[in-house]
Amino acid sequence: MFTKDIVGIANGLVGGWGNVGGGATQIVMGTALFPLFTSIWDGDEEMAWRTVTIVPAVVAFIMGMVIIKFGQDCPKGNYTELKKSGEMIEVSAAASFRSGALDLNTWILFVHYACCFGVELTVNNAAVSFFNTVFELDVSTASAIASIFGFMNLFARGVGGYLSDRAMPKMGMRGRILVQAFLLLAEGVCIFIFQAQTNLAASIVMLTVFSIFVQAAEGSTYGIVPYVNRQAPGAVAGIVGAGGPAGAVLFGLIFKANAEDQPRAFFIMACVVCGAGVLSAMITIKGHRGLLFGKDKEPIANLLVPVTE
């Protein structure tokens, strides 16, 4: 959707603020709207909770209509107009998905996203239990500390996208991949350090630093995604995005299996994340030099719409 010069920071900011919006919605729903609806229903909390969910549904519907009315499919305009003018070739959804799914880079980035956004989803739940069991904090205090992790989305994901964008003019795609590898490896190292802490203050500091690298890696991932397959950018983005929930399921099972030893669960997570960082060396995008393979050709055109070679 965005031109290649700003695709990293644009996707990073949009995604990061989207995640922050989820937390803000939880706060507004729980502290403002739920009490209001409870009073409307004369103290019936079950009915209040069922009906209060109408509010975000209405807001989402309105925003969807605003996007349809005022948004554009890509920098050149809407796909319908581009197809009519002949600037965009019609590609079936099945062919697009097949093209994206058969690209090895798609699945490497799937693993990467599992190891950043999947980690974020897992830690949002596991951090409270970690501080509760390891440092014997009450749930409310542990929850307050754990909330730090999510609020780093205010800037960290955008920073990852920005670093990816800045690396591209200097080193080409190799620069974006190096940023990606560094952020994932730094994330893994921070998890190793975090799980080994016995001091509460140090643990909070490491949680914050760890969170910054997690969300920065999310931003840098989507700085690479639009370049993977110009014929199927939507399919690639969708498959990579699915890596987040898939990673959360995997890490959730690891934490469940190590419920009595949370530091061990974080240790295993750190090993997986570092392995994903090393996997960056295998990314080889057509027309661009990777860390080990490929070579740079003439700069490709801006990613505007899916087109055939």
**How confident is the model at residue 303, as a pLDDT?**
37
Residue 66 confidence class, pLDDT cut points 50, 70, 90: very high
* Higher-pLDDT residue of 8, 272: 272
pLDDT tops 50 at residue 302: no
pTM score, whole prediction:
0.79
Q: Pick the residue with more confidence: 237 or 89?
A: 237
Residue 305 has pLDDT above 70, yes or no: no
Task: Output the average pLDDT for the chain.
Answer: 84
What are the CB-based long-range contacts (under 8 Å, 24+) for 141-148? 145/204, 145/207, 146/207, 147/23, 148/204, 148/207, 148/208, 148/211
**Rounded Cα gap, residues 178 and 171, in angstroms:** 9
Query: How much is the average pLDDT of 219-240?
Result: 88
User: Residue 74 — φ and ψ, nearest 5°?
Assistant: -160, 170
pLDDT at 309 over 50: no
| Both tokens assigned to 66 | 């605003």
Considering the chain, what percentage of its residues have pLDDT values greater than 90?
38
Q: Is the pLDDT of residue 133 over 90?
A: no
User: How confident is residue 61, by pLDDT bands cut at 50, 70 and 90?
Assistant: very high
